[in-house]
Protein backbone atom coordinates (compact mmCIF):
# COMPACT_ATOMS: atom_id res chain seq x y z
CA UNK A 1 0.00 0.00 0.00
CA UNK A 2 2.79 2.45 0.91
CA UNK A 3 4.68 1.76 -2.32
CA UNK A 4 1.47 2.39 -4.26
CA UNK A 5 0.97 5.73 -2.50
CA UNK A 6 4.59 6.70 -3.15
CA UNK A 7 4.14 5.82 -6.84
CA UNK A 8 0.98 7.95 -6.92
CA UNK A 9 2.98 10.89 -5.48
CA UNK A 10 5.54 10.56 -8.28
CA UNK A 11 2.94 10.19 -11.04
CA UNK A 12 0.73 13.11 -9.99
CA UNK A 13 3.26 15.60 -8.68
CA UNK A 14 1.39 15.90 -5.36
CA UNK A 15 3.44 16.82 -2.30
CA UNK A 16 1.58 14.64 0.19
CA UNK A 17 -1.17 12.02 0.45
CA UNK A 18 -3.14 10.96 3.52
CA UNK A 19 -5.35 7.86 3.62
CA UNK A 20 -7.34 6.22 6.41
CA UNK A 21 -8.54 2.63 6.23
CA UNK A 22 -9.85 0.33 8.96
CA UNK A 23 -8.70 2.72 11.70
CA UNK A 24 -5.17 3.00 10.28
CA UNK A 25 -4.10 6.43 9.04
CA UNK A 26 -1.07 6.79 6.77
CA UNK A 27 0.33 10.09 5.56
CA UNK A 28 3.13 10.19 3.01
CA UNK A 29 4.79 13.35 1.81
CA UNK A 30 7.79 14.48 -0.10
CA UNK A 31 10.18 17.15 1.08
CA UNK A 32 10.10 20.40 -0.82
CA UNK A 33 13.15 20.88 -2.96
CA UNK A 34 15.35 23.74 -1.83
CA UNK A 35 16.32 26.21 -4.49
CA UNK A 36 19.52 28.17 -4.08
CA UNK A 37 19.48 31.69 -5.41
CA UNK A 38 22.61 33.79 -5.76
CA UNK A 39 22.52 37.26 -4.26
CA UNK A 40 22.07 39.85 -6.99
CA UNK A 41 25.06 42.00 -7.83
CA UNK A 42 24.62 45.73 -7.24
CA UNK A 43 23.55 47.29 -10.51
CA UNK A 44 22.91 51.00 -10.88
CA UNK A 45 19.26 51.78 -11.50
CA UNK A 46 18.37 52.58 -15.08
CA UNK A 47 15.92 55.26 -16.09
CA UNK A 48 12.37 53.94 -15.91
CA UNK A 49 11.09 52.68 -19.24
CA UNK A 50 7.61 53.27 -20.54
CA UNK A 51 5.35 50.48 -19.39
CA UNK A 52 3.55 48.80 -22.25
CA UNK A 53 0.36 46.89 -21.61
CA UNK A 54 0.98 43.17 -21.38
CA UNK A 55 -1.08 41.08 -23.76
CA UNK A 56 -2.58 38.09 -22.01
CA UNK A 57 -2.59 34.94 -24.02
CA UNK A 58 -4.38 32.99 -21.31
CA UNK A 59 -6.12 30.11 -23.11
CA UNK A 60 -8.62 29.77 -20.25
CA UNK A 61 -10.04 33.19 -21.21
CA UNK A 62 -10.49 32.27 -24.88
CA UNK A 63 -14.20 32.19 -25.77
CA UNK A 64 -13.78 28.79 -27.43
CA UNK A 65 -11.89 27.18 -24.53
CA UNK A 66 -13.23 23.90 -23.19
CA UNK A 67 -12.39 23.85 -19.46
CA UNK A 68 -11.74 20.76 -17.39
CA UNK A 69 -14.77 20.01 -15.20
CA UNK A 70 -12.60 18.10 -12.71
CA UNK A 71 -9.11 17.31 -11.45
CA UNK A 72 -7.64 14.19 -13.02
CA UNK A 73 -5.48 12.80 -15.80
CA UNK A 74 -6.26 13.70 -19.41
CA UNK A 75 -6.14 11.07 -22.14
CA UNK A 76 -6.44 12.07 -25.79
CA UNK A 77 -7.37 8.59 -27.07
CA UNK A 78 -9.74 5.88 -25.84
CA UNK A 79 -6.83 3.48 -25.23
CA UNK A 80 -3.03 3.48 -25.53
CA UNK A 81 -1.99 3.35 -29.19
CA UNK A 82 -5.47 4.23 -30.48
CA UNK A 83 -6.22 7.26 -32.68
CA UNK A 84 -6.94 10.41 -30.65
CA UNK A 85 -10.55 11.51 -30.29
CA UNK A 86 -9.76 14.76 -32.17
CA UNK A 87 -6.88 16.35 -34.07
CA UNK A 88 -6.02 20.00 -34.66
CA UNK A 89 -7.99 21.28 -37.65
CA UNK A 90 -10.76 18.74 -37.22
CA UNK A 91 -14.37 19.95 -37.28
CA UNK A 92 -16.45 18.93 -34.23
CA UNK A 93 -20.09 19.22 -33.25
CA UNK A 94 -21.35 20.16 -29.79
CA UNK A 95 -21.37 16.97 -27.74
CA UNK A 96 -18.57 15.17 -29.63
CA UNK A 97 -16.01 13.58 -27.28
CA UNK A 98 -12.77 15.60 -27.27
CA UNK A 99 -10.82 13.58 -24.68
CA UNK A 100 -11.32 11.68 -21.44
CA UNK A 101 -10.28 12.55 -17.92
CA UNK A 102 -9.58 9.79 -15.43
CA UNK A 103 -10.62 10.78 -11.93
CA UNK A 104 -10.93 8.34 -9.04
CA UNK A 105 -10.39 5.40 -11.47
CA UNK A 106 -13.40 6.55 -13.53
CA UNK A 107 -13.07 7.57 -17.18
CA UNK A 108 -15.10 10.72 -17.89
CA UNK A 109 -15.75 11.78 -21.48
CA UNK A 110 -15.26 15.51 -22.07
CA UNK A 111 -17.65 16.76 -24.78
CA UNK A 112 -17.26 19.70 -27.15
CA UNK A 113 -19.19 22.64 -25.71
CA UNK A 114 -19.90 24.03 -29.19
CA UNK A 115 -19.53 23.19 -32.85
CA UNK A 116 -16.47 24.44 -34.72
CA UNK A 117 -12.88 23.59 -35.64
CA UNK A 118 -10.34 22.34 -33.07
CA UNK A 119 -7.55 24.94 -33.29
CA UNK A 120 -5.51 23.97 -30.21
CA UNK A 121 -5.11 20.95 -27.95
CA UNK A 122 -3.58 22.37 -24.79
CA UNK A 123 -2.84 19.14 -22.90
CA UNK A 124 -0.72 16.11 -23.63
CA UNK A 125 -1.78 12.50 -23.31
CA UNK A 126 -1.42 11.38 -19.69
CA UNK A 127 -1.03 14.93 -18.36
CA UNK A 128 -2.54 15.81 -14.95
CA UNK A 129 -5.16 18.58 -15.26
CA UNK A 130 -6.80 20.92 -12.77
CA UNK A 131 -10.41 22.03 -12.45
CA UNK A 132 -11.07 24.90 -14.87
CA UNK A 133 -7.85 24.38 -16.85
CA UNK A 134 -8.35 24.96 -20.59
CA UNK A 135 -8.07 21.65 -22.46
CA UNK A 136 -9.01 22.42 -26.07
CA UNK A 137 -9.79 25.55 -28.10
CA UNK A 138 -12.67 25.34 -30.58
CA UNK A 139 -13.22 28.23 -33.02
Q: Where do the domains of the chain lie?
A: 1-31, 59-138
The fold of 59-138 is OB fold (Dihydrolipoamide Acetyltransferase, E2P) (2.40.50)
- Backbone phi and psi for residue 7, each to the nearest 5 degrees, phi listed first: -65, -40
Please tell me the pTM assigned to this model: 0.58
Neighbours of 30 (CB within 10 A): 13
| Residues 5-41: tens digit of each pLDDT | 677 767 776 677 777 777 777 777 766 555 555 656 6
| Residues 41-57: tens digit of each pLDDT | 665 666 555 554 444 57
Amino acid sequence: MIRGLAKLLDETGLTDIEIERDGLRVKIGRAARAVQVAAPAHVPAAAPAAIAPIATNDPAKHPGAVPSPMVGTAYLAPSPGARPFVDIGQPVKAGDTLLIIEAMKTMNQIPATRSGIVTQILVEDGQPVEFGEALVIIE
